[in-house]
Structure 1
Amino acid sequence: SKEEKQAFDTKVDLPWLPAKFAADAVLFVVPKDSPLESISMEDLYKELTSDNKRLIFDGTNSSNLNFVAQKFQKNPSDLKFSIINGNENVAEQLKNYPDKIGVISYNTLSRPFGDEAQRLRSELKIIKVIKDNTEYAVTGNNLKTMTYPFTRVLYFITNEGYYGLGNGFIRFSCQQLGQIIVEKEGLQPYNIFRREVQMR
């Protein structure tokens, strides 16, 4: 946000140069047997201003809550919602609240080989988001093009003015090998590298 950038500029005597390395997203999930398949941006906002507190976030100061609030140009304190601490706990306990909608990060479910992620994927359904009369699912292509309305870019910032461990890790993460690891973890790499294959 603008305020965060100003705070960085006042404390660090370096230019603001975020190193973007992946696309993540905020997901809206329901139990697998829920009839709900999609929700519009308008309905999401109605839920966030309703005393029903149907949306469950993972904390009162979580990045998921702050990101959704920013999307609607509101402060988190202006919204109404329920809380279960931790992404995994929201996903785990959602079965106890069949009328609620969980709000979690994409990475909670995206790890292809994580036992916990595999189990949660089998129990939960990710609902599509409707914006301007178009339904958007959470797919790799929609994250890459940022057409899914709640896509967010992950980035590093550093206060190192020299090439130390922090900058070395950032460089590794943003180059091809690091981007392969990002993809293996189920996220959408920010930097797409060409692969040339010779066919004989």
Structure 2
Amino acid sequence: MKINKKNLSFILLLTVFAACKPKPKPVDTVAQTRTSGTVSMLVDESFSEVLADQIEVFKTDYPDTKFTIVEGNEQKILPTFLNDSVRVIILSRMLTEAEDKMYRSRSIVPKTARFGIDGIALIANVENPDSNITVNEVVDIMKGTSVSGKQLVFDNAYSSTLRYFKDLAAIKALPAKGIYTLQTNNDVIKYIAENKGFVGVVGVNWLIDNKEEMAPYLEKVKMMGVKNVKGKKGGDEFYRPIQANLINGKYPFLRNIYIIDAEGRDGLGTGFANWLVSPRGQLIVLRSGLGPHKLASRDFNFKNTN
């Protein structure tokens, strides 16, 4: 085939442009910094939705990053963190003194930062006449001393949510009656949507920022109001776990969300932890319906136009 000089020049020009066009770097070849490189992270599945939103925006800002996420219940992921397999974890509690010492014995000081406030919602079927419950009633159910007939349904037997209520009731073992466990938060929502007479226990974020396929089930459940113990904040009336009540602390069942970084170096784990508590990261927490760690102040300048 004959190629004239004009066509040849065009082909050469395309070749030059193709050679000059920047190609994205493979993430595993970029420098390991606060805004580039790779990081593996263990995540309490209760917070998987809000964390996914954070990572999506972070990667938009810093495309040369790669996150490997391992989700699971608290009792499953914590041993992986403590045996030094993965050094960044998202939990609803801080490390105990003994757990902290395990890392310090390796000359690594874990860095802990709170980036959000989660509410644990109690939900009921929309056709259930009960719309309120007290903290004392919940504690009685957990202890097996309740005479109300109410039964609690949790995500799973090893979750941070169930651990929270066991700590609240100061019990080690669950009673023989009144407590049921499934597998996930969505399982609880489905169960309550299809069964009356039960009280489901789920993270607030699962009621606000959930997948589209859960919409038919979410329409059939309602958040219950909770009254705290008399004399404590939120003990004057029933409060629902709406965002305002998470921020002002009037809703009784609150827990912090922490990121714990034990990488032992100034890498992507540190950068992401700092970003979570930055104004941009906190705005995403606010939009998720949870309580932010810190509300950004707003300054207004007033000019005299007279």
- TM-score range with shorter-chain normalisation? 0.7 to 0.9
Structure 1 position 171, deviation (Å) = 0.6
In the alignment, structure 1 segments of 5+ residues that lack a partner are: none
Q: What amino acid is the match of 2:128?
A: S
The aligned counterpart of 1:127 is 224
Q: Of the two structures, which has the highest relative contact order with CA contacts closer than 8 Å and spacing of 6 or more?
A: 1
User: What per-residue deviation string (whole Å, max 9, x for no partner) do you get for residues 128-159 of structure 1?
Assistant: 11112522221222211323111111011111
Structure 1 position 179, deviation (Å) = 0.8
2:128 matches 1:34: yes
Q: What amino acid is the match of 2:171?
A: K
2:163 matches 1:60: no
Give distance in 1, aligned partners of 2:98 and 2:208.
33
2:278 matches 1:182: no
User: What per-residue deviation string (whole Å, max 9, x for no partner) do you get for residues 65-84 of structure 1?
Assistant: 00111122222x23451112
In the alignment, structure 2 segments of 5+ residues that lack a partner are: 1-92
User: What per-residue deviation string (whole Å, max 9, x for no partner) do you get for residues 81-126 of structure 1?
Assistant: 1112100011012133201111111111122x85256544422111
**Structure with larger Rg:** 2
2:71 matches 1:71: no
Count of aligned pairs between the two proteins: 198
The aligned counterpart of 2:119 is 25
Structure 1 position 2, deviation (Å) = 8.2
Structure 1 position 16, deviation (Å) = 5.2
Give distance in 2, aligned partners of 1:117 and 1:2.
31
**Kept after mapping to 1: 8 A contact 2:117/2:256:** yes
RMSD, aligned α-carbons: 2.5
Structure 1 position 165, deviation (Å) = 0.7
TM-score between both structures, scaled by the size of structure 2: 0.59
User: What per-residue deviation string (whole Å, max 9, x for no partner) do you get for residues 29-82 of structure 1?
Assistant: 00112111111122112222159681101101111100111122222x234511
Residues 70, 42 of structure 1: alpha-carbon distance in 2 compared, 3 angstrom cutoff:
same
The aligned counterpart of 1:82 is 180
SS in 2 for 1:26: strand
* 1:91-170 map, 5 Å: 91-111=189-209, 114-116=211-213, 118-131=215-228, 132=230, 133-134=235-236, 135-170=238-273
Residues 195, 2 of structure 1: alpha-carbon distance in 2 compared, 3 angstrom cutoff:
closer
User: What per-residue deviation string (whole Å, max 9, x for no partner) do you get for residues 152-171 of structure 1?
Assistant: 11011111232101010001
Residues 184, 64 of structure 1: alpha-carbon distance in 2 compared, 3 angstrom cutoff:
same
